[in-house]
């Protein structure tokens, strides 16, 4: 049959997962851009940032939306429990989507709480946090089968529906499993009983069968097999295929399927969320202009420069002076004075509290001599036996064109003291510990592939070493 969509729109794939999907266990090898290209190919209109437990790499998603003329949908597939303060590993799932900037900030807030006081094996929101979301600015769905863990889930659903009203929908999926079909039957009953509309969620973890194989390599290398996924459709199909798969479940009427597919159009009615990529920095001097803050920075550097140069031979003065002058000018031209004034205040407070900056340097920051003058390191790039390039730390093109901010690493003997000082200077709630997760490098990706394919270890190791040499050569080219 011919599928007729309201206004000629197609089903929108808001529930999908990429290579950023799950930082705990492997879950996908697909890239965000794969989803953008597939959406364009199918005539779909959105790309979402939805990932497990967090908002995903949402700035990249935002940029892809602009590149491919798609609507950017901000959201997450959050883990939730009844009470996040209890040791409950139920970890049910729920889709949270922002209908406006107010909704985006609200979702960010509760996901932050999930990581602070709700973390127990996973970052978990709870019913209280969900009910704190503004009902007119957040759209939620019941996600996958993992929403329905609790025995009293119907009572919880009623609470959520009373709060979110039409901004709550029951998500149906078209997996060819007994468990999913049984759940879909229950969803049909609940939809009729409480007047809650159904919506189609694809729960894509890859685009097509070729990427499905890539995902299997990732899972096999880690010795993972998700039994619950046997019989699941985890691709990104066209609309006719979606309809056909639901028909094969033999529980829905044509009208129910089409209405649930059409309900994804509601995402097109969300406010356009715009992420401002202008450089933003906190400041110790909110009342001062940029020129005034530049002056404070210059005076601070000048003071420490005069003190430092007392022990430097006179014939070296010009070399140091020109180097410092150039570095200071870059900071002024890029408007980065606040960054270094804040770091200086933090380091000074940490030193007062017994903090230790080690003699060894860390990262590209040691290549900037003004960082040494301000107490961030003890390395003198002018006398270092290793050539240090200030441009690797900061340059005008890097800041103004790519908007890539400075990244100053401190080598400290007691980092907890510096963390305390940071909180004192910036205030509680404005300083957080952070863990960085990188993407697979070629060598690591090949090792994973070799393990999945049971390639001889000696051969795999030799190839991996060659790839590592190649990566290093490219890095330092």
| pLDDT tens string 71-126 | 999 999 999 999 999 999 999 999 999 999 999 999 999 999 999 999 999 999 99
Q: What is the DSSP letter of 316?
A: G
Q: What do you get for the CA distance between the two ends of the chain, in Å?
A: 58
Among 22-31, 153-162, 297-306, the range scoring the smallest mean pLDDT is: 22-31
> What is the DSSP code string of 424-436?
HHH-TTS------
pLDDT digits (tens, 9 = 90+) for 368-396: 999 999 999 999 999 999 899 999 999 99
Return all residues near 417 (Cβ < 8 A) that are at least 6 apart: 350, 353, 354, 355, 356
Instruction: Report if residue 80 sits inside a domain.
Output: yes
State the average pLDDT over residues 433-460: 76
Instruction: Report if residue 105 sits inside a domain.
Output: yes
Residues β-bridged to residue 75: 97
* CA distances for 252 relative to 185, 244, 248, 385, angstroms: 8, 11, 9, 74
Same domain, 166 and 223: yes
Q: For Cα atoms 455, 457, 463, give the angle at the middle one, nearest 5 degrees.
A: 85
Return all residues near 101 (Cβ < 8 A) that are at least 6 apart: 271, 273, 274
Same domain, 227 and 298: no
- The residue ranking higher by pLDDT, 276 or 322, is 322
Q: For Cα atoms 184, 189, 192, give the angle at the middle one, nearest 5 degrees.
A: 125
pLDDT of residue 8: 44
Instruction: Report if residue 137 sits inside a domain.
Output: yes
* CA distances for 60 relative to 65, 69, 73, 343, angstroms: 9, 14, 12, 28
Q: What is the DSSP letter of 244?
A: H
Same domain, 118 and 252: yes
Domain count for the chain, please give it.
Answer: 3
Same domain, 422 and 467: no
Instruction: Report if residue 21 sits inside a domain.
Output: yes
Distance CA(222)–CA(447), nearest Å, equals: 11
pLDDT of residue 1: 45
Same domain, 184 and 331: no
Same domain, 150 and 193: yes
Distance CA(446)–CA(450), nearest Å, equals: 6
Same domain, 412 and 356: yes
Distance CA(106)–CA(436), nearest Å, equals: 24
Average pLDDT, the chain: 91
pLDDT of residue 439: 61
- Of 181-190, 416-425, 453-462, the range with the highest mean pLDDT is 181-190
Instruction: Report if residue 362 sits inside a domain.
Output: yes
Same domain, 461 and 355: no
Tell me how far the alpha carbon of residue 69 is from its chain's centroid.
21
Could you say which of 269, 303, 329 is where a domain stops?
A: 269
Instruction: Report if residue 277 sits inside a domain.
Output: no
Q: What is the band of 5 on the pLDDT scale with cuts at 50, 70, 90?
A: very low
Q: Dmax of the chain from CA atoms?
A: 89
Instruction: Report if residue 258 sits inside a domain.
Output: yes
CA-nearest of 210, 198, 140, 149 to 173 is 198
Q: Which domain holds residue 451?
A: 442-475
Distance CA(227)–CA(472), nearest Å, equals: 39
Same domain, 46 and 140: yes
Q: CATH number of the domain that 188 lies in?
A: 3.20.20.140
Same domain, 231 and 356: no
Same domain, 461 and 392: no
* CA distances for 168 relative to 16, 83, 103, 324, 470, angstroms: 18, 21, 14, 59, 51
Is residue 80 classed as helix, strand or coil in its secondary structure? strand
pLDDT at 23 over 70: no
* CA distances for 176 relative to 213, 223, 270, angstroms: 19, 24, 31
CA-nearest of 204, 203, 193 to 158 is 193
Note whether 215 and 206 are within 8 A (CB): yes
Note whether 335 and 290 are within 8 A (CB): yes
Rg (the chain; Cα; Å): 27
Instruction: Report if residue 274 sits inside a domain.
Output: no
Same domain, 228 and 362: no
Could you say which of 213, 238, 269 is where a domain stops?
A: 269
């Amino acid at each position: 049959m011919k599928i007729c969509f309201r206004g000629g729109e197609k089903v929108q794939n808001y529930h999908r997962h990429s290579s950023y999907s799950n930082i705990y266990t492997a879950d996908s090898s697909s890239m965000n851009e794969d989803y953008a290209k597939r959406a364009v190919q199918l005539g779909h209109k959105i790309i979402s940032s939805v990932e497990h437990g967090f908002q995903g790499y949402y700035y990249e998603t935002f940029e892809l939306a602009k590149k491919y003329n798609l609507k950017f949908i901000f959201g997450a597939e959050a883990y939730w429990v009844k009470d996040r303060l209890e040791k409950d590993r139920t970890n049910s799932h729920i889709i949270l989507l922002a209908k406006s900037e107010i909704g985006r900030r609200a979702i960010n807030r509760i996901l932050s709480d999930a990581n602070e006081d709700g973390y127990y094996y996973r970052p978990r929101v709870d019913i209280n946090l969900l009910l704190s979301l503004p009902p007119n600015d957040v759209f939620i769905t019941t996600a996958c089968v993992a929403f329905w863990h609790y025995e009293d889930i119907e009572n919880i659903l009623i609470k959520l529906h009373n709060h979110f009203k039409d901004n709550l929908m029951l998500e149906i999926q078209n997996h060819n499993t007994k468990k999913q079909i049984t759940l879909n039957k229950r969803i049909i009953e609940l939809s009729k009983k409480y007047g809650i509309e159904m919506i189609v969620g694809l729960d894509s973890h890859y685009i097509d069968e070729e990427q499905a194989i890539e995902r299997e390599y990732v899972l096999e290398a880690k010795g993972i097999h998700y039994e619950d996924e046997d019989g699941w459709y985890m691709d990104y199909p066209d609309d006719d295929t979606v309809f056909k798969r639901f028909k094969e479940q033999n529980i829905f009427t044509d009208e129910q399927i089409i209405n649930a597919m059409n309900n994804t159009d509601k995402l097109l009615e969300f406010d356009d969320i715009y992420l401002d990529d202008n450089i933003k920095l906190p400041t110790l001097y909110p009342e001062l202009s940029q020129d005034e803050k530049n002056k404070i920075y210059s005076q601070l550097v000048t003071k420490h420069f005069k003190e430092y140069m007392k022990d430097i031979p006179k014939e070296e003065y010009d070399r140091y002076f020109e180097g410092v002058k150039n570095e200071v000018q870059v900071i002024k031209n890029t408007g980065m004075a606040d960054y270094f004034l804040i770091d200086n205040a933090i380091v000074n407070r940490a030193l007062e509290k017994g903090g230790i900056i080690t003699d060894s340097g860390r990262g590209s920051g040691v290549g900037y001599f003004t960082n040494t003058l301000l107490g961030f390191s003890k390395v003198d790039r002018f006398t270092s036996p290793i050539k240090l390039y200030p441009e690797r730390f900061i340059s005008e093109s890097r800041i103004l064109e790519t908007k890539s901010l400075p990244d100053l690493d401190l080598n400290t003997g007691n980092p907890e003291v510096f963390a305390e000082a940071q909180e004192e200077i910036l205030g509680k709630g404005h300083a957080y510990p952070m863990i960085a997760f990188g993407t697979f490098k070629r060598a690591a990706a090949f090792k994973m592939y070799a393990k999945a394919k049971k390639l001889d270890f000696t051969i795999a190791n030799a190839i991996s070493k060659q790839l590592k040499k190649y990566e290093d050569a490219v890095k330092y080219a």
